[in-house]
Amino acid sequence: MPIRLYDSLNRELKPLEAHQKDGVFRFYNCGPTVYAPAHIGNFRTFVVNDVIRRLLELEFGKDKVRHVRNLTDVDDKTIRRARDEGRPLAEVTKQWTDKFHADCAALNCLPPHVEPTATGHIKEQVDMIEVLLRKRHAYRAPDGSVYFRVSSFQEYGELSHLQERELKTGSALAGKPQTADADEKEDGSDFALWKAWKPEDGDVKWPGPDDAAAGRPGWHIECSAMSKKHLGDNIDLHTGGVDLLFPHHENEIAQSECCNGVTFANHWYHSEHLLVDGKKMSKSLGNLYTLDDLKAKGFSPMALRYSLLAGHPRKQLNFTLDGLHAAESALKTLRAYRAALPAQGGTVFVDQPVLEALQDDLNTPGALGALFTAINHHKPAEVSAEHFDRAMFALGFDLQAAESPKAAAPAEVEALAEKRWAAKTAKDFAAADALRKELATAGWSMLDRKDGYSLEPLKK
Ligand code: AMP
Ligand code: ZN
């Protein structure tokens, strides 16, 4: 069965197909901006894309998939971070690239075949901008920046269905807030391909395209240039989180198609955002988690992976610590079940319903449901280990990965918890509440369950 996936451009389920003669499936996934640790929302997108990569390998063969995911290592955020810390840009971006790699490995995400950086592809970006200038799809602004002329590309807005949005909101583009570069542009909707150097950029600058000032590339051209270099002019699938649909991906299409003269991507897929306790994650709300925050609370990275797949990728997913507890216990069940499988001879293939769900628009909750239905229905002795492992491969669950050690509470905290549990069981709720407060002062929270409790360090 082919993998069918929703296509954001045509708004329909379409099979994923390799369009080039060599039969290699060309897959581009927009990567992280490396200026801080990625948060668990970012990892929802990367874990979902990792499942796509795994399905592609199963469908086309391991050596017939080419997966490119870039690193955005120069933009306003990375430059600001380096300036604030008084460090060279390359040092800051290397620190966060290394951290990103470590987190991806802990989450069992397969590394992409190529991981190009924006700073490593300045020439490719400049070359593309020069073609766009020559074809009059771009123009030089008075300050030496270069902008893309949106009115020169008829199809602009097709991916994000801009016309419909304009009908709803008046004019989506005209309604955009005035940006600092408004005076430089011919039209408010034009976007930067090349940004002329400004004093706040420090020593971050490269020689620009013909006639343009020294400076740095805009964000959108990075992906167009890296995709062209490593996958060619026409790719089979381009993905990212839903926030990238407009303007990032819309602008990538405009740049690539005007430069190369062919369709940029045959299929577009966008996964939805992760919410935490029903709200958008943000530092100011104090609900932004990194993988390290969850590890400090005693959770394993594999449990995070599991809970990120527990919701349909095209729907918003609400992350909770309760969900993470449930994921830990589901993984425990899978580990115990796997340990009980016969080395050979099982005749029940649990990967079939799992793969069917995943191939049907990446229905990850459906796949998990099908897996548990199968293992609830069949004794381990009946089940083929090889096929069980194939299901684990598709979902990316590494059952060998060590269960994360619980953060150990100091003895006096354990003692308080024991006292509180005793008070609670004796229905002395006033004493139990007082002890909960004592625990909180000591920096711990106690989670009650039917048959006991666990201790978790409070988030600082
Ligand atoms: P960035 O590092 O900001 O470029 O984002 C990396 C990826 O994470 C992009 O594909 C974003 O669309 C995605 N992303 C950002 N915030 C969230 C979120 N809350 N939930 C899911 N994905 C997100
Ligand atoms: Zn991108």
What average pLDDT does the chain have?
A: 93
- Interhelix angle 364-377/321-339, rounded to 10 degrees, is 40
What percentage of the chain reaches a pLDDT higher than 70?
93
Whichever domain contains 195, its CATH number is: 3.40.50.620
Structural domain of 418:
411-457
Sequence-ordered alpha helix ranges (H) in 170-296: 219-231, 250-260, 291-296
Structurally, the chain folds into a number of domains equal to: 3
Q: What is the pLDDT of residue 369?
A: 98
**pLDDT of 317 above 50:** yes
**pLDDT of 41 above 80:** yes
Q: What is the pLDDT of residue 382?
A: 97
Q: What is the pLDDT of residue 175?
A: 47
Q: Is residue 95 part of a domain?
A: yes
**pLDDT of 459 above 70:** no
Q: What share of the chain is helix, strand, coil (3-state, %, to 5)?
A: 45, 15, 35
What φ, ψ does residue 165 adopt, rounded to 5°? -65, -40
**C-alpha 241 to ligand 1 mean position (Å):** 5
Integer-rounded Cα radius of gyration of the chain: 25
Average pLDDT (149-170) is 83
**C-alpha 32 to ligand 2 mean position (Å):** 9
**Ligand lying nearest the CA atom of residue 315:** 1
Provide the token pair at 389.
């492992």
Torsion over CA of 289, 293, 295 and 296, rounded to 10 degrees? -150
Q: Which residue minimizes the CA distance to atom 17 of ligand 1?
A: 41
List the beta bridge partners of residue 454: 447
Report how far apart the first and last C-alpha atoms of the chain are (Å, whole number).
48
Taking the CA of residue 72 as reference, the ligand 1 atom at the shortest distance is 4
Q: Is residue 26 part of a domain?
A: yes
Reported residue count of the chain is 460
Least reliable range by pLDDT among 42-56, 57-71, 149-163:
149-163
Cβ contact 59:356 at 8 Å: no
The verdict on the CB of residue 42 being under 6 Å from ligand 1 is yes
Q: How far apart are CA 284 and CA 449, in angstroms?
A: 31
Taking the CA of residue 239 as reference, the ligand 1 atom at the shortest distance is 10
Which band of pLDDT confidence, cut at 50, 70 and 90, is reported for residue 181?
confident
Residue 280, SS3? Answer: strand
Q: Which residue minimizes the CA distance to atom 15 of ligand 1?
A: 42
For residues 348 and 442, which has the higher predicted lDDT (pLDDT)?
348
For a pocket test of ligand 1, which of 42, 274, 315 has the largest count of ligand atoms closer than 8 A to its C-beta? 42
Residues 390 and 428 grouped into a single domain: no
For a pocket test of ligand 1, which of 44, 45, 273 has the largest count of ligand atoms closer than 8 A to its C-beta? 45
**C-alpha 41 to ligand 1 mean position (Å):** 6
**pLDDT tens per residue, range 356-374:** 999 999 999 999 999 999 9
Residues 236 and 285 grouped into a single domain: no
Q: How far apart are CA 295 and CA 307, in angstroms?
A: 14
Taking the CA of residue 241 as reference, the ligand 1 atom at the shortest distance is 12
Instruction: Identify residue 55 by its one-letter amino acid code.
Output: L
Provide the token pair at 265.
């991507």
Residues 231 and 117 grouped into a single domain: yes
Residues 330 and 191 grouped into a single domain: no
Q: How far apart are CA 123 and CA 127, in angstroms?
A: 6
Write the CA distances from 112 to 37, 273, 284, 315, 434, integer angstroms: 19, 22, 33, 25, 52
Q: How many helices (H) and strands (E) does the chain have?
A: 15, 15
**Ligand lying nearest the CA atom of residue 238:** 2
What φ, ψ does residue 139 adopt, rounded to 5°? -145, 155
| Strand boundaries in 154-201, DSSP class E | 191-196
- Domain boundary among the residues 220, 253, 271 is at 271
**pLDDT of 445 above 90:** no
For residues 182 and 63, which has the higher predicted lDDT (pLDDT)?
63
For residues 181 and 427, which has the higher predicted lDDT (pLDDT)?
427
Residues 118 and 253 grouped into a single domain: yes
Average pLDDT (212-232) is 98
Which band of pLDDT confidence, cut at 50, 70 and 90, is reported for residue 443?
confident
Q: What is the pLDDT of residue 44?
A: 98
Exposure on the CB side of residue 163, measured as CA atoms within 13 A: 4
Q: Is residue 325 part of a domain?
A: yes
Which band of pLDDT confidence, cut at 50, 70 and 90, is reported for residue 411?
confident
Average pLDDT (178-199) is 90
**C-alpha 3 to ligand 2 mean position (Å):** 23
Residues 230 and 102 grouped into a single domain: yes
Exposure on the CB side of residue 358, measured as CA atoms within 13 A: 28
Q: Which residue minimizes the CA distance to atom 2 of ligand 1?
A: 32
Cβ contact 312:357 at 8 Å: no
- CA 27-32-37 angle, 5° bins: 145
Q: How far apart are CA 362 and CA 271, in angstroms?
A: 10
Which band of pLDDT confidence, cut at 50, 70 and 90, is reported for residue 384?
very high
The verdict on the CB of residue 185 being under 6 Å from ligand 1 is no
The verdict on the CB of residue 274 being under 6 Å from ligand 1 is yes
Residues 205 and 255 grouped into a single domain: yes
- Domain boundary among the residues 271, 306, 323 is at 271
Q: How far apart are CA 294 and CA 198, in angstroms?
A: 39
**pLDDT tens per residue, range 81-137:** 999 999 999 999 999 999 999 999 999 999 999 999 999 999 999 999 999 999 999
Which band of pLDDT confidence, cut at 50, 70 and 90, is reported for residue 63?
very high
**C-alpha 248 to ligand 2 mean position (Å):** 7
Provide the token pair at 248.
């990032």
Closest CA to 117 of 250, 223, 240: 223
Least reliable range by pLDDT among 135-149, 238-252, 437-451:
437-451
Q: What is the pLDDT of residue 176?
A: 54
Cβ contact 79:195 at 8 Å: no
For a pocket test of ligand 1, which of 43, 243, 309, 317 has the largest count of ligand atoms closer than 8 A to its C-beta? 243
Which band of pLDDT confidence, cut at 50, 70 and 90, is reported for residue 407?
low
Residues 260 and 284 grouped into a single domain: no
Residues 280 and 259 grouped into a single domain: no
What φ, ψ does residue 179 adopt, rounded to 5°? -100, 170
